[in-house]
Structure formats: C-alpha cells, structure tokens
Amino acid sequence: LAAAAMAIANLHVPDRSLGSGLPSWFWAQNCSSALIYVVPGWYLAKKRPDVAFGWLAIAAGLAHGLAAAGFEYTVSSVVAGHHLPAPWLGVWFSLWGPTVELPVLAVIYALFPDAKRPRGALGALAVLAGVVVTCGVVAGWFDPVLIVDPKSAALGALHNPFAIHSKLVHELDGAATFAPGMIAATAVPVIRWWRAREETRRVLSWLAAVAVLAFVVAAPSASFAGPIGILAAQAVSLVE
C-alpha cells in the first residue's frame, strides 16, 4: 500500500529509474511478488504455525514489499525533490529485498514436505545451497555500490552507511552467489524425487518439476539487466 501510494504520487516524475536500469514499474513487480508470497504464506502460517514454510514465504513477501516501497521512497526524495530523510534507505531496500526469496526457495526445496533435512551428501548440498544464496543476500546489505552509473549528483551522493568497501563484497552481491546457489538448490528436489518411492515420490513430483521449470525460465534471462531480468524474476515467482 505504501509503495502504491508513493508510486501514484510520483507519476509526474519523468525519469523514475534512479539511473540503475530499473524500470518505472519496479514497484508494481515487487508488490505483485509480495502478494504471491504473503497470501499463501499467511494461509500456511495460520494452518500450520509450527512449520516454517509459511513464515518463510511471509518473510520473502515482506522483503519484496520493502523493495517496492523503498524504490518509490528514494524516487520521491531525490528525483521528485521532496528531500525526505535517509533517501539511501529506500534504494538499499530495493537492492537486496527481491533476493530474499532465493534462500527461502532453497530451504523449501530442501525441507518440503516433512520439514526434515535430507541425510548424507544431499543434506550437505542443501545446506551449501542455502548458505551460498544467503551470502548473496547479506552481501547486498554491505554492498558499497547502491546505484550503478547514477544520472545525477544527488543520486551519486547516496551511500550505503553499512558498506564494506571491498570488491569481493560487491561481486558476491549477484550472479557469483545466486547462480551456483540456485543450481545446487534446484538439484536437491530433483535428486530427492529420483530417490523417493511411491507416495513420497508423488508428493515431490510437482516440486521437482516446478523447480526445474523455474530455473529454465530464469537461467536464460539471468545475464540481462533491466526489464528483461526483472520480468524473468517475476516469472519465477509466478511459477513457484
């Protein structure tokens, strides 16, 4: 709601990309992703509060909502000239908020449906996948580069106060962690399905199929910045 309200107020702003390659509808994409995660997450958390899946989905949805509202907050503060406090905070949320769904998916892939981690090497692979993608999210918190090639001095003046000025931190915030982490995460439900028998295999069939389909949708577009990459991320959310 906050993102939608600020987006409407910012409709008169001619350039709402923040110079980052993000489209003006970035807020709408993240709002829809927030609903995609929060609605079923709320239902699951209400029905089975003892199981983590619902709460994880809610966390991913809230992170998308923060990204949407944060993006429009920075637009309103810097581009629209309203000079709101801490304008860096909005673009900071929009930097890492959409990526929270990746460790959430990695955990769901590993634990569904009985919330138990697989044993042996497969369990280790599941943990590794979750750790790798989580490192990517955490790197986003400390990434010194909030906006790549800002189009104005005001945007260029926005700095991350939590920044760790290291090239490694900046490189970890992106494909260096998300791509290998999600490849490993996708392999987990496929291997689990392959090893399973009877009822467990039937239960895992849809998860393995959806995980592979989501990866196939996302992988070709992962190298594209801007609208194509964002639409691919949205497609993955819809598939999941």
pLDDT in tens, 10-62: 888 877 777 656 777 888 889 999 999 999 999 999 999 998 999 999 999 99
Q: Is the pLDDT of residue 86 over 90?
A: yes
Interacting residues of 88 by C-beta distance below 8 A, sequence separation 6+: 74, 146, 158, 159, 160, 161
Distance separating alpha carbons of residues 124 and 167, to the nearest angstrom? 29
The DSSP result for 127-140, as a single string, is: HHHHHHHHHHHHHH
Q: Is the pLDDT of residue 239 over 80?
A: no
Confidence at residue 225, expressed as pLDDT on a 0 to 100 scale: 56
Interacting residues of 58 by C-beta distance below 8 A, sequence separation 6+: 37, 38, 41, 42, 45
The least confident of 30-34, 68-72, 154-158 is 154-158
DSSP class of 85: S
- Please tell me whether residue 63 adopts helix, strand or coil conformation: helix
Contact 89, 21 (CB under 8 A): no
Q: How many Cα atoms within 13 Å fall on the side-chain side of residue 122?
A: 18
pLDDT tens sequence across 97-152 = 999 999 999 999 999 888 888 989 999 999 999 999 999 999 999 998 888 777 77
Interacting residues of 102 by C-beta distance below 8 A, sequence separation 6+: 133, 136, 137, 178, 181, 182, 185
Name which residue leads in pLDDT, 200 or 64.
64
Contact 144, 163 (CB under 8 A): yes
Q: Determine the average pLDDT of the residues in 183-205.
A: 89
Contact 103, 61 (CB under 8 A): no
Name which residue leads in pLDDT, 22 or 164.
164
Confidence at residue 234, expressed as pLDDT on a 0 to 100 scale: 66
- Taking the model in full, what pTM does it have? 0.88
Confidence at residue 163, expressed as pLDDT on a 0 to 100 scale: 93
Confidence at residue 80, expressed as pLDDT on a 0 to 100 scale: 87
- What is the widest separation between alpha-carbon atoms in the chain? 62
Residue from 98, 116, 124 nearest 27 by CA: 98
User: Which sign, positive or negative, has the C-alpha torsion 69, 74, 77, 83?
Assistant: positive
Confidence at residue 156, expressed as pLDDT on a 0 to 100 scale: 83
Name which residue leads in pLDDT, 176 or 85.
85
Distance separating alpha carbons of residues 218 and 13, to the nearest angstrom? 31
pLDDT band at 164 (very low <50, low <70, confident <90, very high): very high
pLDDT tens sequence across 197-215 = 888 888 889 888 888 887 7
